[in-house]
Amino acid sequence: MKALRLHGTHDLRLHEEAVPAPGDGEVLLRVTAVGICGSDLHWFEEGSIGDARLAHPLVLGHEFAAVVENGPRKGERVAVDPALPCWHCEFCETGYPNFCRATRFSGHGRDDGSLREYMAWPERALFALPDNVSDVEGALLEPLGVALYALDLGQIRLGDSVGIYGCGPIGLMLLRLARLNGARQTIATDLYPHRLAVAQQMGADVTLLADAAGSERAAVLDATSGRGVDVAFEIAGANAAVETAIETARPGARVVLVGIPSDDRTSFSASTARRKGLTIQLCRRMAHTYPRAIALAASGQIDLASLASHRFPLEEYQTAFATAAEREGLKVVIKP
């Protein structure tokens, strides 16, 4: 089988490898679609993410769908949870498996990810896909799960004003979810005009082009009559966007930080946040969101297919990663 391994920054190589043998509790999966995530780009461009460093040639990929190749579920199309918590620690047992310190993760550390034709993965992490949810949509259920978890942290109330600072796929999903959750006003910002155009198509009331200086902040406040937004979501992974979220949130608001900064540092004006009495939440992946994400996709309440702007076979990995790194379109999907 073909497997794509990252050997160093910007150094991806396609290998011929043996098909893996499933272990206890595992099944063999034929991978059908893989989304390239911002965290994959951290690995590709920096050889690291947060405090994790590339230690060996690693297969990336954690947003994926597959077909089961063996066992009672053979032939079943599935979405796959890339996170494997221990399921018996304090956090797993109290409903927070995303905080498990023993978590293994597809395409991170010692666990190879899904940018290969076949992989073995625990059956417990598989979720059946309805016939009307495609493989590509199945791959995008993972980022939708992150957006759903961030939405839960934001605690949007009916009639709230919501700021979405960063309109990549997760930001655009949050925009749609905020509307479904009763937001009265949605304000979206991004560095890229093409993303703002999609945000406007998806129902954003106000779209603003951002820059490193945060010149859009005055316009956000003006759109809320100087009051500020009730809930602010930062999904850009940049301190300028974090500062925008802090400065444009109303007193007593909730600010949810979803983005992953390249230098593993987040900073903002402490005096502004303190004087406003802001509640600041950091989003750690997701927990128990796949059933809801599948239901939203199957019911048509959220359109995932339109977010997959580019699709490539595995052999065109260089073009796929270059496209994603240049932030062209929205979601780049590789179909092994």
Residues linked to residue 231 through DSSP beta bridges, in sequence order:
162, 254
Q: How far apart are the first and last CA of the chain?
A: 10
Tens-place pLDDT, residues 202-227? 999 999 999 999 999 999 999 999 99
Q: What is the mean pLDDT of residues 9-17?
A: 97
Separation CA 139–CA 133 (nearest Å): 10
Distance of CA 220 to the CA centre of its chain: 25
Q: pLDDT, tens digit, for every residue of 100-145?
A: 999 999 999 899 999 999 999 999 999 999 999 999 999 999 999 9
pLDDT at 51: 86
The predicted structure's pLDDT at residue 50: 85
The structure's pTM equals 0.96
> 149 pLDDT band (50/70/90 cuts)?
very high
Pull the structure tokens for residue 335.
């179909």
Convert the pLDDT of each residue in 302-325 to its tens digit.
999 999 999 999 999 999 999 999
CA distance 239 to 273: 14
Q: What is the DSSP pairing of strand 332-335 with strand 11-16?
A: unpaired
Cα–Cα nearest to 77, from 35, 1, 134, 2? 134
The letter for the amino acid at 126 is L
Q: Over the stretch 31-62, which tens digit does the pLDDT of each residue have? A: 999 999 999 999 999 999 988 999 999 999 99
> How confident is the model over 168-214, as pLDDT tens digits?
999 999 999 999 999 999 999 999 999 999 999 999 999 999 999 99
Model pLDDT, residue 57: 97
Q: What is the pLDDT of residue 92?
A: 97
Whether pLDDT at 23 is above 90: yes
| pLDDT band at 263; cut points 50, 70, 90 | confident
Per the prediction, the chain carries an average pLDDT of 97
86-96: average pLDDT: 96
Alpha carbons 128 and 109: distance in angstroms, whole number = 27
What is the chain's percent helix, strand, coil content, to nearest 5? Answer: 30, 30, 40
Instruction: List domains and CATH numbers for the chain.
Output: 2-140+304-335 (3.90.180.10), 144-282 (3.40.50.720)
pLDDT band at 163 (very low <50, low <70, confident <90, very high): very high
pLDDT at 262: 85
